[in-house]
Chains A and B, each alone.
Chain A
């Protein structure tokens, strides 16, 4: 199945033929980029919450009960869920000294090899993460502070991020193996 894909993908960027793999990869790229850019905006809310806290403390002489936790969990969720976005843009730091010197065939083998380990990690995040989040949801667990917001939406960010990473990891693998065409990315 993969061999056929390689033959189909090697013909370079021919817009006439868009395979299923191409469509999958483009869709995942678009989804992750959209999610990443959406959550990138959270920084504005974080800045406003921090500034309000500083303002409230220095002018009203009283700290808010919500500002700290809002900033913490807003940015945590944003940058955890954005994992797939950074992967789509291949921004995660890697050591490619050896990789760069190999033949395309050897690279493809290594890509498959590393994908196994990638899967072990994101699989664990999805599985153990959803167990953790589901338990928290059933329990109605709070953070235990005076404000005491429900914490399960933050915990669900872990398995969701794992799932988005997995989708993106598969897309990148399909492209690296030549099964799907290389990405065309503006931003």
Chain B
């Protein structure tokens, strides 16, 4: 069988099973098993199980449940609410002050949380009612929460970067540092947009009442008290990775300790909460691990059959120049992002695309940042943008999924601009990690 025909069969079988509703983790595994047996006989199964076992022995992978656990604990420690309360009294006088506070809170939360979901839900519960009560237009209030929530995966400690680093064989520390500036840049874009929009259309966001603005400076500082431990946690994680003092796994372990301390400091400690946090962590981590097993098996079989090389040769041979290939990859990711979760896209395409990009002479760390920025778009893009669904889960009855998707366009535009900027000027991402060496 020719490798072209084989590739076609691989994709065809995979897409059919996937569309019939079998979970991605098992669809990838099943296709891997099927082709392993067809191509290499029963002995091919050793390859599948071997791939699973190799991943089980990966030390960096342990940081995934630890970072998720840390986020689950912080969520139950009421940190997001505390951050929002503190942020909104400080941004109170700006046009669209509450929406600005949402973005600031999301960016701060992102320094402690590595997956999307928790921040969006918390902002939906805390900030959305506050904005609607103040008379903010729906599209402003909903859009900023969805867009801000995505920052969690761009600003360290991001679980997306861990998975990318494992797939592409890149240092997690460097990826984390590379995500900082683009993440802050994106947050700055959102804030600038909100302020300008609300300046010209004051009806979008009625200003705060005099009573709300009359908070004394002393009270403003008092609100910062609850943020002391979380900030220490965030800085110690970033700092230890920047200076290379700790592995990501160790940094995550220390982060968990910090999160539990923050919970205790804020008077919210309870064993029951820790137990729940552990269970939530297990559910998310199991899902991620099994996806990793299945897609690793699939990519392993496909690579052994020569398929990966076929695609790589084809892509490097395209008459569009190196940067053209990078842009094509971005477009493929954007399209896939409308239909598949980030994790599926990452695990299935990165093993193929990263070698292509390397062969063209680009930095895989830069590619990781591009991937993460690209996925910002997928979180909010209709019809399946997960950010919208997380938010829909907690919105008051009058707000539909359609309202949420209508609110995201300006932010999506900003994300595309930011992605273009990082493609054009890789230094935006690479400057900080380069100062590490």
Contact = CB atoms under 8 A, between A and B. Distances in A.
Nearest to B240: A54
Interface string B74-106: 000000000000000000000000000000000
B23 A92 contact: yes
Nearest to A52: B253
Contacts, number: 189
Given A40-B279, A96-B21, A118 B26 contact: yes
B325 interface: no
Given A83-B286, A117-B30, A93 B23 contact: yes
Contacts of B384: 97
A132 B49 CA distance: 8
Determine the interface band of chain B, counting residues with CB < 8 A from chain A: 35 or more
Contact of A155 (B19, B53, B65): B53
A23 to B, nearest CB: 25
Interface stretch (A1-9, A14-22, A72-80, A178-186): A72-80
B23 A80 contact: no
B281 interface: yes
A93 B249 contact: no
B21 A99 contact: yes
B34 interface: yes
Contacts of B62: 46, 50, 71-72, 75
A46 B286 contact: no
A98 B30 contact: no
Contacts of B333: none
B400 interface: no
Given A95-B18, A117-B30, A121-B26, A128 B56 contact: no
Given A76-B56, A117-B22, 8 more contacts: A43-B66, A46-B66, A54-B254, A73-B56, A80-B52, A93-B24, A94-B23, A99-B20
Contacts of A41: 275, 278
A166 B349 CA distance: 29
Interface in A120-160: 120-122, 124-125, 127-129, 132, 154-155, 157-158
B403 interface: no
A58 to B, nearest CB: 9
B69 A79 contact: no
A102 B65 CA distance: 36
Interface string B6-43: 00000000000111111111110111111000000000
B282 A158 contact: no
B181 interface: no
Contact of B21 (A47, A77, A89, A94): A94
A160 to B, nearest CB: 13
Contacts of B294: 121
Determine the interface band of chain A, counting residues with CB < 8 A from chain B: 35 or more
B179 to A, nearest CB: 23
Contacts of B69: 43, 47
B48 A128 contact: yes
Interface string A26-53: 0000000000110111011011001101
Contacts of A157: 56
B21 A158 contact: no
B25 to A, nearest CB: 5
A40 B68 CA distance: 12
Highest count of chain A CB atoms <10 Å: which of B33, B341, B344: B33
Contacts of A111: 21
A46 to B, nearest CB: 7
Interface of B: 17-27, 29-34, 45-46, 48-50, 52-53, 55-59, 61-62, 65-66, 69, 246, 249-250, 252-254, 256-257, 274-275, 278-279, 281-287, 289-291, 293-294, 339-341, 343-344, 383-384
Given A40-B278, A46-B65, A128-B48, A95 B25 contact: no
A47 B251 CA distance: 11
Nearest to A125: B49
Nearest to A127: B45
Given A54-B246, A54-B250, A72-B58, A91 B27 contact: no
A60 interface: no
Contacts of A97: 19, 339, 383-384
A79 B22 CA distance: 20
A36 B246 CA distance: 30
A34 B22 CA distance: 24
A62 interface: no
B25 A82 contact: no
A185 to B, nearest CB: 13
Contact of A91 (B252, B287, B339, B344): B287
Contacts of A98: 19-21
A179 B61 CA distance: 39
Nearest to B245: A58
B49 A95 contact: no
19 contacts: A36-B282, A39-B282, A41-B275, A43-B281, A71-B62, A73-B56, A76-B61, A82-B285, A85-B286, A92-B290, A93-B24, A94-B22, A98-B19, A114-B17, A114-B20, A121-B26, A124-B33, A125-B49, A128-B46
Contacts of A127: 45
Contacts of B341: 93
Given A78-B282, A129-B49, A53 B250 contact: yes
Nearest to B383: A97
A154 B56 contact: yes
B45 A121 contact: no
